[in-house]
Amino acid sequence: MKEIAKLMNYRESVRVLDVTMRDGGLVNDFYFSDEFVKALYLANIKAGVDYMEFGYKADRDMFDESKYGPAKFSKDEYIRSIVGDNDTDLKIAVMADVGRTNFKRDIPDRAESPVDMYRVATYIHQMPAAVEMIQNIHDKGYETCCNIMAISTAREGDLRAALEIVAQTDVDVIYIVDSYGSMYPEEMARLVESYKEVADKYGKTLGIHAHNNLQMAFANTAEAVGDGVDILDASYAGMGRGAGNCPMELLLSFLKNPKYNVYPVICFIEDHIEKLRSQGAVWGYDLQYLMTGVLNQHPRNAIQFTKEGRKDYAEFYKELVVQD
Amino acid sequence: MKEIAKLMNYRESVRVLDVTMRDGGLVNDFYFSDEFVKALYLANIKAGVDYMEFGYKADRDMFDESKYGPAKFSKDEYIRSIVGDNDTDLKIAVMADVGRTNFKRDIPDRAESPVDMYRVATYIHQMPAAVEMIQNIHDKGYETCCNIMAISTAREGDLRAALEIVAQTDVDVIYIVDSYGSMYPEEMARLVESYKEVADKYGKTLGIHAHNNLQMAFANTAEAVGDGVDILDASYAGMGRGAGNCPMELLLSFLKNPKYNVYPVICFIEDHIEKLRSQGAVWGYDLQYLMTGVLNQHPRNAIQFTKEGRKDYAEFYKELVVQD
């Protein structure tokens, strides 16, 4: 049980990172209007959010630019068209997937870019490629994160080895990523403990990225920050792939640092998020995501179920269990 | 942090109580079709649920019987029309509000009734009336619970005194009720500790009833069971007043006792709950409930906001904060 004094107060080192456009972009193929993005940028500034993630740095040789909105590629000129020189306290982040980013060609020196931080997303078997990428991007002057995905299916020994490898790079932040939304706060507490051991040894900061398959995205984030995790991912109305993420409005209501302000988040949701939903973007907790979460599976089948407008939950459950 | 061995195993004493008709009835004025109720009864039996709450035992002198469905009054003949002699392992519960139940007139001896348990819901200032009611109902042969409501606004000293009073009755179960859905798991852990002290002293069982204003209904229930609370309230698809309750499908997926089975819950939701929603019943997490939860207020204003179909969340937030 955490000390009550700690819960009434706040830790200066905590930071909030808005993933609405990046994880949310997976829902609408990154087709956000400039009006939406500008309003989101302003809302983040007013709300005291620390980082805004613009999207992915996808390799245009692998992904057809005509089939996605600009946030899929997060070109510097696109970001500049929204934020100008970004003369604010809000930092700009972009996600770069290992194996799907031409980082040597597409990421310039930080001095030339509006981007402050790159988040390198990797599977555990790609660690050497992740390390190369982190080092290259760090050497260009950026803050870097390493987001090791799908850890709920990784062996503990492999995970420990991967953490040791990445902690010995110049990476700034190591993320705990519950890709499948399959974790309960009790497990989160244990996982944070094992990450924290390595992070403390090498002087790294920890981050948390949660999914809401079991309605635990916010609960796991609250657990993690209580256990010493500093960088917290959230999105407006929880917008994100499948069951979505930790809702920004809940997180900012929970954090005690007076620099955070939930009111601009409420205004943004009222003005912009409901419109996205009415245009057909679908995300959030539903039975199909509970099922893949409980079964500790990638949500791809549940996303397909959603896309097809299926409502035969019982049949879907049988399909999953038969495959399992 | 809980022991991992405890989390992989289960506690025999844990029981699940379905509140779909009672708390859910607050959403649709208790108008459930007999077909719905029969299917729910069968689903609960198949799912291994331990108690099914049929509704309230409302005083018909106070409430007009023509304005509510039968679950508002939970007459024995109504319950019998669904369950017959209920020759199953599923027990039947009914809620009786202090000050709104004519328990002397309306509750017969248990030998004559299909009901197994009465849950006495009380505010903290009504404890002596609650005690009288508990004793009367206990003496008639029923299992009894005491659900002390709105504790998040009660003084700790008052709550301690109330617990001492009720623990000295013949009540079987004392409930932790987060009426406003305003609690975080950290607070829940502390609250369980204080309830448990009294419960252990007098040999009472503890129960938990959570609301989902902060998307913490399931997280708080999981926290509570980990801390030693045995009787867990949940409802199908979280159906319940305002932001709703702990979803049955999440709870049964989480509990490890092999007697619980989530598949009948999924089937019931597919066949019956979506229909209720399409008929206009509205519940579940939304911004207005977050706001009353964070502000630790009764959800009545948020419910009104929902009823009126309002979507001006920012204006509503200002209204609440001005009143606060």
B210-267 tens-digit pLDDT: 999 999 999 999 999 999 999 999 999 999 999 999 999 999 999 999 999 999 999 9
Per the CB < 8 A criterion, the answer to whether A313 and B266 are in contact is: yes
Q: Residue A214: its chain B contacts at CB < 8 A?
A: 218, 250, 253-254
pLDDT at B42: 98
Taking only residues 274 to 293 of chain B, the set having a beta carbon closer than 8 angstroms to any beta carbon of chain A reads: 274, 287, 290-291
pLDDT at B198: 98
pLDDT at A144: 98
Helix (H, G, I), strand (E, B) or coil at A233: strand
Q: What's the Cα-to-Cα distance from B79 to each of B55, B63, B113, B178, rounded to whole Å?
A: 10, 19, 9, 28
Question: Looking at the partner chain, which of A187, A216, A311 has a beta carbon nearest the beta carbon of B219?
Answer: A216
Distance from CA of B140 to the nearest CA of A (A): 41
Distance from CA of A247 to the nearest CA of B (A): 9
DSSP state of A238: G
Are the Cβ atoms of A2 and B186 closer than 8 angstroms?
A: yes
A240 falls in which pLDDT band (50, 70, 90)? very high
B170-195 tens-digit pLDDT: 999 999 999 999 999 999 999 999 99
Question: Looking at the partner chain, which of B2, B4, B215 has a beta carbon nearest the beta carbon of A250?
Answer: B215
DSSP state of A211: B
- List the end-to-end C-alpha distance of chain A, in Å, as a whole number: 36
Helix (H, G, I), strand (E, B) or coil at A180: coil
Give the Cα-Cα-Cα angle A220, A224, A226 (nearest 5 degrees). Answer: 120
What residue of B is the nearest CA neighbor of A227?
Answer: B1
Other beta carbons within 10 Å of B88? 14
A176 falls in which pLDDT band (50, 70, 90)? very high
Which of B213, B214, B245, B277 would you mutate first to test chain A, the one with the most A CBs within 10 A?
A: B214
Helix (H, G, I), strand (E, B) or coil at A44: helix
Which of A250, A260, A297, A321 would you mutate first to test chain B, the one with the most B CBs within 10 A?
A: A250
pLDDT at B5: 75
CA atoms of A303 and A226, how far apart (whole Å): 31
> For chain B, what is the mean pLDDT?
96
Q: For B25, what's the count of Cα atoms within 13 Å in the CB-facing half-sphere?
A: 26
Question: Looking at the partner chain, which of A184, A219, A274 has a beta carbon nearest the beta carbon of B311?
Answer: A274
With tokens 């090791």, the residue in question is A148
pLDDT at A322: 85
pLDDT at B191: 96
pLDDT at A319: 95
pLDDT of B324 > 90? The answer is: no
Average pLDDT for B254-283 = 96
What residue of B is the nearest CA neighbor of A292?
Answer: B253
B134 falls in which pLDDT band (50, 70, 90)? very high
pLDDT at A8: 84
> For chain A, what is the mean pLDDT?
96
What residue of B is the nearest CA neighbor of A274?
Answer: B311
Helix (H, G, I), strand (E, B) or coil at A310: coil
Helix (H, G, I), strand (E, B) or coil at A324: coil
A132-141 tens-digit pLDDT: 999 999 999 9
Per the CB < 8 A criterion, the answer to whether A180 and A213 are in contact is: yes
Question: Looking at the partner chain, which of B187, B249, B254 has a beta carbon nearest the beta carbon of A184?
Answer: B254
A4-18 tens-digit pLDDT: 777 788 999 999 999
pLDDT at A304: 96
pLDDT of B1 > 80? The answer is: no
Are the Cβ atoms of B185 and A219 closer than 8 angstroms?
A: yes
CA atoms of A248 and A237, how far apart (whole Å): 7
Query: With an 8 Å Cβ cutoff, is A4 touching chain B?
Result: yes
CA atoms of B133 and B98, how far apart (whole Å): 8
Q: Give all domains of chain A, ordered by start, each with its CATH number.
A: 4-278 (3.20.20.70), 287-323 (no CATH)
Question: Looking at the partner chain, which of B184, B253, B314 has a beta carbon nearest the beta carbon of A266?
Answer: B314
Per the CB < 8 A criterion, the answer to whether B209 and B176 are in contact is: yes
Query: With an 8 Å Cβ cutoff, is B191 touching chain A?
Result: no
B46-60 tens-digit pLDDT: 999 999 999 999 999
A189-239 tens-digit pLDDT: 999 999 999 999 999 999 999 999 999 999 999 999 999 999 999 999 999
Query: With an 8 Å Cβ cutoff, is A253 touching chain B?
Result: yes
CA atoms of B103 and B107, how far apart (whole Å): 5
pLDDT at B297: 94
CA atoms of B316 and B244, how far apart (whole Å): 20
pLDDT of A273 > 90? The answer is: yes
Q: pLDDT > 70: what percent of chain A? A: 100
Average pLDDT for B47-76 = 98
Q: Residue A290: its chain B contacts at CB < 8 A?
A: 249-250, 253
Average pLDDT for A19-40 = 97
pLDDT at B98: 97
Distance from CA of A201 to the nearest CA of B (A): 22
B8 falls in which pLDDT band (50, 70, 90)? confident
A3 falls in which pLDDT band (50, 70, 90)? confident
Query: With an 8 Å Cβ cutoff, is A31 touching chain B?
Result: no
CA atoms of A35 and B203, how far apart (whole Å): 61
A115-134 tens-digit pLDDT: 999 999 999 999 999 999 99
Closest CA to B166 of B148, B180, B154: B148
Are the Cβ atoms of B266 and A249 closer than 8 angstroms?
A: no
ipTM (interface predicted TM)? 0.94
- In three-state form (DSSP H/G/I as H, E/B as E, the rest C), the secondary structure along chain B is CCCHHHHHCCCCCCEEEECHHHHCHHHHCCCCCHHHHHHHHHHHHHHCCCEEEEEECCCCCCCCHHHCCHHHCCCHHHHHHHHCCCCCCCEEEEEEECCCCCHHHHCCCHHHCCCCEEEEEECHHHHHHHHHHHHHHHHCCCEEEEEECCHHHCCHHHHHHHHHHHHCCCCCEEEEECCCCCCCHHHHHHHHHHHHHHHHHHCCEEEEECECCCCCHHHHHHHHHHCCCCEEEEEHHHCCCCCCECEHHHHHHHCCCCCCCCHHHHHHHHHHHHHHHHCCCCCCCCHHHHHHHHCCCCCHHHHHHHHCCCCCHHHHHHHHHHHC
Q: What's the Cα-to-Cα distance from A71 to each of A23, A172, A216, A234, A306, rounded to whole Å?
A: 10, 24, 27, 17, 23
pLDDT at B200: 98
Average pLDDT for B24-41 = 97
Per the CB < 8 A criterion, the answer to whether A154 and A128 are in contact is: no
pLDDT of A164 > 90? The answer is: yes
- List the end-to-end C-alpha distance of chain B, in Å, as a whole number: 36
